[in-house]
Amino acid sequence: MTTAGSKIWRPEDSHDVEALAASIRQERGQNVYRPEIHDVIDATIDALSDELRALSLDIHDHPELKFEEKHAHDVLASFMSKQNFQVTTHYHLPTAWKATYTHGNGGQRTIGINSEMDALPGIGHACGHNLIGMAGVAVACAMKVAMEKFNIAGKIVLLGTPGEEGGNGKDILLKHGAYKEMDICLMCHPAPGPHSSVSLSSSLALCRSQVEYFGHTAHAALSPWEGQNALDAAVLAYTNVSLLRQQVKPSHRIHGIFEGKDWTPNIIPDYAKMLWIVRGPTIAEAKETHERVQKCLKAASIASGCKVKINNDFYVGYDLRQNATLGGELSDIVNNRHGFIDYEYGIASASTDFGAVTYALPALHPGFAIPSVKDGGNHTTAFTEAARTIQAHIASLNVSKALAGVGIRVLTDEAFFKMVKETFEEDKKHRGLD
């Protein structure tokens, strides 16, 4: 997950969330679709709990950067093979994998699930992808047992998706057709928040730019007039964008960094590079602000006398289109059995490459709260530690149980699946995507 200052729940903000969850359950009653199936799902995941925790901690103890997830690839693929799934290793990408299971004749529908695996530079699994990898496995295994016990025809496709942290791995897999056979796709993501909460917030779309300034070296003291300072161009660009921030909506984010080579104080730099990310609630809004940032970057070139090269094909990420029908089913399950739903926390002000998947097919990507400390949200060392706690493990299992229930509902209820598809198409029209 690429973060951008999402709303962070503070432990000192705590209120009696257990009482809140209990009141919601009492108000709604035990109103879930085929509760006997949920009982089997819950029992299956509980029985696998120790093995799933060992898997999660193994991945956590071996953090690997985007597209380098060799250990995670191997242990996850091996686990699914032992669960009698058909496994394809190195699926379209060196560290991607695919695990499939078919019951009966395969039925009419295929449920897709995602397991993320990559870590962050220097701080390991500070976004909790060890939990996401484990949760995908838990959902798939629980659905498999339920399909066997209740003779439910259908197919499960679990994808191991590398390179979420800045590598847009799912976009690559999507272009290779990895999601083509799926009727829906499910996954989840940890974040700070009140205990027992599962969030159905969206996320921000984003546009990335790679900007290079080319100048001319000179002796910084003897003849500075001979130089064209590429670092000055980058500083001007940063200042321009900083001023622009005053005039953008509070729902938007703009942030960037400097990079350079062979810099020393007594030589005027002839090269500087910047990486920028612009975010907005929708891809259209992100692109609009992105265009304003481009003018700031180009103006710095004119003022400094340096040439500029801007790569705007670097990456475009989509916001999450949470399918409302799938979300409603998840809400029923969570509120009745596993906690409560909110629309405020989760990854509302962050970004994920799963956004592209939600634009391609009906999908659901809930966030779920794990214990965190003050100033210890995603992409901090404190969250790295939080992602290996037993409380985080239990929270991951609970949201996995709910997601497995959503998947089974899609397989067994024709009218419900029709609503899922209609919701997807209506949302496309609302967003002007037709």
Number of domains comprising the chain: 2
| Residue 344: predicted pLDDT | 85
43 plus 63 within the same structural domain: yes
Q: Which of 316, 343, 365 is the last residue of a domain?
A: 316
CB 26 within 8 A of CB 333: no
81 plus 35 within the same structural domain: yes
Could you tell me where the DSSP H helices lie in 305-431?
324-333, 354-360, 381-386, 390-412, 414-430
- Measured CA to CA, the distance from residue 427 to residue 434 in angstroms comes to 10
- Measured CA to CA, the distance from residue 200 to residue 191 in angstroms comes to 12
Residue 11 has pLDDT above 50, yes or no: no
197 plus 210 within the same structural domain: no
92's torsion region: left (phi>0), alpha (psi -120 to 50) or beta?
left
How much of the chain is in helix, strand and coil states, percent to nearest 5? 45, 20, 35
pLDDT in tens, 20-76: 445 544 554 457 999 999 999 999 999 999 999 999 999 999 999 999 999 999 999
193 plus 246 within the same structural domain: no
Radius of gyration over every alpha carbon of the chain, rounded to an integer in angstroms: 23
157 plus 241 within the same structural domain: no
Neighbouring residues of 75: CB distance < 8 A, sequence distance ≥ 6: 55, 58, 59
Residue 4 has pLDDT above 70, yes or no: no
Average pLDDT (333-348) is: 93
Q: What Cα–Cα distance (Å) separates residue 369 from each residue in 11, 115, 168, 396?
A: 12, 18, 24, 9
The mean pLDDT of the chain is 92
pLDDT in tens, 260-299: 999 999 999 999 999 999 999 999 999 999 999 999 999 9
225 plus 371 within the same structural domain: no
CB 88 within 8 A of CB 97: yes
- Measured CA to CA, the distance from residue 72 to residue 57 in angstroms comes to 11
253 plus 194 within the same structural domain: no
CA quadruple 421, 424, 426, 429: dihedral sign: negative
DSSP 96-142: -EEEEEEETT--S-EEEEEEE---BTTTBSTT-HHHHHHHHHHHHHH
361 plus 297 within the same structural domain: no
- Measured CA to CA, the distance from residue 93 to residue 169 in angstroms comes to 9
| Residue 14: predicted pLDDT | 44
- Measured CA to CA, the distance from residue 107 to residue 383 in angstroms comes to 41
Exposed/middle/buried for residue 313 (C-beta within 10 Å: 0-12, 13-18, 19+): exposed
Residue 421's identity, in one-letter code, is: K
The CATH code of the domain that includes 227 is: 3.30.70.360
- Is 381 within a domain? yes
- Measured CA to CA, the distance from residue 7 to residue 210 in angstroms comes to 27
| Residue 314: predicted pLDDT | 66
- Is 6 within a domain? no
CB 280 within 8 A of CB 289: yes
36 plus 120 within the same structural domain: yes
**How many residues appear in the chain?**
434
- Measured CA to CA, the distance from residue 408 to residue 275 in angstroms comes to 43
pLDDT in tens, 192-251: 999 999 999 999 999 999 999 999 999 999 999 999 999 999 999 999 999 999 999 999
Q: Which of 274, 300, 316 is the last residue of a domain?
A: 316
Neighbours of 233 (CB within 10 A): 30
68 plus 129 within the same structural domain: yes
Q: Which of 286, 316, 346 is the last residue of a domain?
A: 316
pTM, two decimals, is: 0.88
Q: Binning pLDDT at 50, 70 and 90, where does residue 151 land? A: very high
Characterize the bridge pairing of strands 367-369 and 189-191.
Answer: parallel
Neighbours of 246 (CB within 10 A): 6
Give the tokens for residue 322.
Answer: 């949470």
pLDDT in tens, 96-129: 999 999 999 867 899 999 999 999 999 999 999 9
- Is 423 within a domain? yes
Residue 213's identity, in one-letter code, is: Y
Q: Tell me the sheet residues that pair with 157.
A: 100, 112
Give the tokens for residue 396.
Answer: 């991951």
- Is 220 within a domain? yes
- Is 392 within a domain? yes
- Is 57 within a domain? yes
Exposed/middle/buried for residue 286 (C-beta within 10 Å: 0-12, 13-18, 19+): buried
288 plus 386 within the same structural domain: no
Query: Which of 325, 334, 330, 322 is closest to 406 using CA atoms?
Result: 330
Residue 9 has pLDDT above 50, yes or no: no
- Is 306 within a domain? yes
123 plus 221 within the same structural domain: no
Supply the range of the domain harboring residue 209: 205-316
- Is 366 within a domain? yes
Average pLDDT (90-99) is: 98
Neighbours of 40 (CB within 10 A): 19
Q: What Cα–Cα distance (Å) separates residue 417 from each residue in 82, 178, 325, 420, 421?
A: 31, 21, 9, 5, 6
- Measured CA to CA, the distance from residue 242 to residue 13 in angstroms comes to 31
